[in-house]
Homo-oligomer: A and B are copies of this chain.
Amino acid sequence: MAANGVTAVLLLSCPDQKGLVAAVSEFLYKNEGNIIHADQHTDQEEGVFLQRVEWELDGFAIAREEIEQAFQPIAERFGMTWSLRFSDSTARIAVFVSKLPHCLYDLLARWKMGEFQAEIPLVISNHDDLAPIAGDFGVEFRRYEIGTQTKAAAEKEIVALLEDQRIDLVVLARYMQLVGEKFVARYRNKIINIHHSFLPAFAGARPYHQAHERGVKVIGATAHYVTPELDQGPIIAQDVAQTSHRDSVPDLVRKGRDLEKVVLARAIDLHLRQRIVVYGNKTVVFD
């Protein structure tokens, strides 16, 4: 059945120009590709075209390992930045945490229930507190001492570990540490952070305290790709909840936890299903 078969997903962006859609659809049609989803966006101001197209491998005239090569001439002709993935590929995620367990619990439970097309083989932390949770779920837990002096060296070790473990996606699940520039550069658009406010409001530390102080009537959470500038990366997903004067800071924290969990999981899911294209400092989310 189509819906259950393996599909190929092509994500691409390039300067907007005539004939783009025709060229891609012609390529698929000539090779007997059955498109099951296609979505595109043109940023008129920037003159950028972005597309996501998904088709069934079953019946496609080109063998899956040869599709990249077959598509290459089209990509070159239009100057595309592009990637090709298959729906049966399984990403490997490393989750970074500090002391707060709610996002970790949530991600591990989702993984165990099969919500993500991914494995979570590794939890990394700058504290020991959450080691037992990783243990309960049978996941390796590594703790690194990360201080002002030790950070650069620790992150070098961490990157080596991530590479050794063939990690595709790094998730900062309330990891209370800035990630260094080299690390960020190595995993460009592959590190997702959850920030506990509706950015750009309340960037930085203690956003629930800031929100309470300012007396806002909504709080939020933001999942974004990590860039070297704190809380400034491309936003993937955001959600908010109503609050009132009755909510103390602990109440905001409690309400916020549910936002954080849901928004972070949504962003991970979108990333894993190849639904996000980053361009400039923004995302296009083909949902």
Alpha-carbon distance A109/B133, docked complex (angstroms): 10
Pairwise interchain contact A38-B18, C-beta atoms closer than 8 A: no
Mark contacts of A79-119 with chain B using CB atoms, 8 A cut-off: 1 yes-contact digit, 0 otherwise: 00000000000000000000001100110010011010000
Q: With a CB–CB cut-off of 8 A, which chain B residues contact A287?
A: 244, 246
Q: How far is the CB of A236 from chain B (nearest CB, A)?
A: 8
From A40-48, A160-168, A170-178, give the one contacting chain B: A40-48
A205 an interface residue at 8 Å Cβ cutoff? no
* Given the contacts A237-B217, A285-B244, A25 and B21 also touching, CB distance less than 8 Å: yes
A202 an interface residue at 8 Å Cβ cutoff? yes
Alpha-carbon distance A202/B202, docked complex (angstroms): 11
Chain B residue with the shortest CB-CB distance to A42: B36
Pairwise interchain contact B216-A3, C-beta atoms closer than 8 A: no
Chain B residue with the shortest CB-CB distance to A133: B112
Number of residues from A at the complex interface, CB < 8 A: 69
Looking at the complex, which one of B33, B35, B42, B137 makes contact with A42 (CB distance below 8 Å)?
Answer: B35
* Given the contacts A37-B42, A245-B41, A245-B285, A200 and B214 also touching, CB distance less than 8 Å: yes
A131 an interface residue at 8 Å Cβ cutoff? no
Q: With a CB–CB cut-off of 8 A, which chain B residues contact A42?
A: 35-37
Chain B residue with the shortest CB-CB distance to A27: B22
Mark contacts of A112-143 with chain B using CB atoms, 8 A cut-off: 1 yes-contact digit, 0 otherwise: 11010000000000000000000011000000
Looking at the complex, which one of B40, B101, B112 makes contact with A38 (CB distance below 8 Å)?
Answer: B40
A32 an interface residue at 8 Å Cβ cutoff? yes
Binding site for B on A (CB under 8 A): 2-3, 18-19, 21-22, 25-26, 28-30, 32-45, 101-102, 105-106, 109, 112-113, 115, 136-137, 198-202, 214-218, 220, 234-240, 242, 244-246, 248, 254, 257-258, 262, 265, 281-285, 287
Given A39-B40, A200-B216, 14 more pairs with CB closer than 8 A: A2-B44, A21-B28, A22-B28, A36-B42, A36-B44, A39-B39, A101-B112, A115-B257, A199-B201, A199-B216, A218-B239, A242-B242, A246-B287, A258-B262
